[in-house]
């Protein structure tokens, strides 16, 4: 989007307004591929019967199915793989159909133009690309290439630029952020980077996704604990707890070692929230393997957890493993494991009732105009729960509401399965601003908030 905007294009989210349609695709697992194909076909209809005159397909599906896309969907005019991002202008203005398949090497930097697709107060920064891990279930190295880190100062400059633009929360992302800098010869690269970013004025939170379990060092934990701007939050995809399953996944370790790791994290970083994810139905997963995983989840008591049903990708190493699990069993195991975690999360959230927490206000709810939303630092954007805010105290005029990104003290009044309920006790008044177009929301807040009514 940034490259196109710099080239003079106007970006629109409405397909019926566009002259050129760009579909950015995912090819990690089968459901993502299906969703991507459906989006391409939907956009093809706009080209057939609407205003659009060109259809470009970009992203990971191009790396896997370049020839098939061009052959089977004639409406597609150009394809842009993950290593060809800088050729998007060429694709939109001419034709880009037959490039040799190469290992992707593209890596953006602080001078690469960007348009934030997130709300203004929060942003993602990719600090590395690709992956060198040999996980048997994963095709990311095929889609994204070998692991490569961005230059240290490039990440710092981009963060400083975003903070000056009003971004208050940064999420560092990469296939393995804990390996950051090692390919550049930087020891303890992630802790060093976090220390530097924690000193940038204007930021409230800096978090990073995702941690590889055997790279969580004492230095990293001590760094998180030492700096208030570093969110006390860690996302560690463990994938399983059975030693047998982890060996077949080429991940190594076992549930006992993971429990000790989680204990060490919580001991070193008081108040930390820990998120993880698992794969159920991996080839060879027995009833005992699954029981081991369930027992581990009960013992670890993670704050947040996601569960993925195993997807049998024909280019992954696990595709050739024996002991395939049927889809019905996989679905049952996923539901069982999520039910275990739901009880844990609900209990932990209910324990916050009556307490006061620091939260970042997100603005009006996406679900209803009657409430606002907020998040604690232990809630990552988009993937974890939120705080549904039913009252904002201390606002005497309905046209003075805190803008998104404002830090506030919130009293927790209740909990649902994954979300909290709360009321704003106070917020930083220097952040107050008049936001146009929110009259209906203001009126709704007044109607449900005695404090606002005063």
CATH number of the domain at 270, please.
3.80.30.20
Same domain membership, residue 53 and residue 140: no
Does pTM surpass 0.95?
no
> Would residue 114 count as lying in a domain?
no
> Would residue 404 count as lying in a domain?
yes
> Would residue 20 count as lying in a domain?
yes
Per the CB < 8 A criterion, the answer to whether 429 and 381 are in contact is no
Domain residues for the domain of 15 are 2-93
Given pLDDT bands bounded at 50, 70 and 90, which one contains residue 242? very high
Given pLDDT bands bounded at 50, 70 and 90, which one contains residue 64? very high
> Would residue 373 count as lying in a domain?
yes
Same domain membership, residue 421 and residue 280: no
Same domain membership, residue 340 and residue 368: no
Domain boundary among 293, 321, 350: 350
Same domain membership, residue 67 and residue 12: yes
Domain boundary among 93, 114, 143: 93
pLDDT at 441: 34
Per the CB < 8 A criterion, the answer to whether 405 and 166 are in contact is yes
Q: What is the CATH number of the domain that holds 20?
A: 3.40.50.12160
Q: Which residues contact 185 (CB under 8 A, 6 or more apart)?
A: none
HSE on the CB side for 140, CA within 13 Å? 15
Strand partners, 58: 24, 80
Given pLDDT bands bounded at 50, 70 and 90, which one contains residue 423? very high
Same domain membership, residue 185 and residue 319: yes
Same domain membership, residue 274 and residue 138: yes
Would you state the structure tokens that stand for residue 382, as one six-digit string?
A: 């988009």
Domain boundary among 293, 315, 350: 350
E strand segments, 2-112: 20-25, 54-59, 78-80
| Rounded Cα gap, residues 453 and 240, in angstroms | 51
300-317: pLDDT as tens digits: 999 999 999 999 999 999
> In Å, what is the CA distance from 177 to each residue of 3, 235, 261?
25, 10, 18
Q: What is the CATH number of the domain that holds 410?
A: 2.40.50.140
Same domain membership, residue 253 and residue 297: yes
Same domain membership, residue 199 and residue 322: yes
Helix%, strand%, coil% for the chain, nearest 5 = 40, 20, 40
Same domain membership, residue 127 and residue 88: no
Same domain membership, residue 382 and residue 244: no
pLDDT of 23 higher than 80: yes
Three-class SS state of 84: coil
Total number of domains in the chain: 3
Per the CB < 8 A criterion, the answer to whether 307 and 263 are in contact is no
| Rounded Cα gap, residues 266 and 243, in angstroms | 23
264-280: pLDDT as tens digits: 999 999 999 999 999 99
> Would residue 116 count as lying in a domain?
no
Helix (H) or strand (E) holding 299: helix 287-300
Same domain membership, residue 207 and residue 173: yes
Same domain membership, residue 301 and residue 378: no
């Amino acid at each position: 989007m940034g490259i196109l905007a710099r080239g003079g294009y106007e970006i629109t989210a409405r397909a019926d307004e566009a002259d050129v349609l760009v579909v950015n695709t995912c090819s990690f697992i089968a459901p993502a591929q299906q969703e991507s194909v459906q989006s391409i076909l939907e956009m093809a209809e706009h080209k057939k019967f609407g205003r659009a005159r060109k259809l470009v397909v970009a992203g990971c599906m191009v790396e896997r199915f370049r020839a098939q896309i061009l052959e089977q969907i004639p409406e597609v005019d150009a394809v842009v793989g993950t290593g060809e991002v800088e050729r998007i202008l060429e694709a939109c203005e001419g034709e880009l159909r037959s490039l040799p398949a190469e290992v992707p090497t593209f890596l953006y930097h602080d001078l690469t133009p960007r348009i934030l697709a997130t709300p203004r107060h929060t942003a993602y920064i990719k600090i590395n690309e690709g992956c060198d891990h040999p996980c048997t279930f994963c095709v990311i190295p095929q889609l994204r290439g070998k692991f490569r880190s961005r230059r240290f100062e490039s990440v710092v400059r981009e963060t400083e630029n975003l903070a000056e633009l009003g971004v208050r929360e940064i999420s560092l992302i990469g296939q393995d952020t804990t390996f950051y800098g090692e390919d550049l010869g930087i020891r303890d690269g992630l802790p060093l980077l976090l220390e530097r970013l924690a000193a940038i004025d204007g930021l409230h939170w800096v978090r990073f996704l995702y941690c590889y379990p055997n790279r969580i060092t004492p230095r990293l934990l001590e760094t998180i604990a030492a700096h208030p701007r570093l969110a006390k939050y860690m996302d560690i995809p463990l994938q399983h707890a059975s030693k047998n399953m982890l060996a077949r996944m080429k991940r190594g370790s076992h549930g006992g070692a993971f429990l000790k790791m989680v204990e060490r994290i919580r001991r070193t970083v008081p108040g930390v929230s820990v998120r993880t994810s698992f794969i159920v139905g991996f080839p060879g997963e027995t009833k005992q393997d699954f029981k081991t995983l369930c027992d581990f989840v009960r013992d670890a008591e993670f704050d947040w957890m996601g569960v993925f049903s195993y997807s049998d990708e024909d280019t992954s190493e696990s595709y050739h493993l024996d002991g395939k699990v049927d889809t019905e069993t996989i679905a049952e195991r996923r539901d069982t494991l999520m039910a275990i975690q739901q009880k844990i999360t609900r209990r932990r959230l209910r324990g916050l009732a009556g307490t006061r927490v620091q939260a970042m206000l997100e603005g009006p709810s996406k679900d209803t105009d009657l409430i606002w939303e907020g998040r604690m630092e232990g809630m990552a954007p988009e993937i974890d729960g939120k705080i549904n805010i039913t009252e904002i105290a201390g606002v005497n005029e309905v046209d003075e509401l805190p803008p998104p990104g404002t830090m506030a003290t919130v009293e927790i009044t209740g909990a649902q399965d994954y979300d909290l309920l709360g009321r704003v006790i106070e917020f930083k008044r220097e952040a107050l601003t008049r936001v146009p177009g929110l009259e209906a929301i203001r009126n709704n807040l007044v109607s449900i908030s005695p404090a606002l009514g005063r």
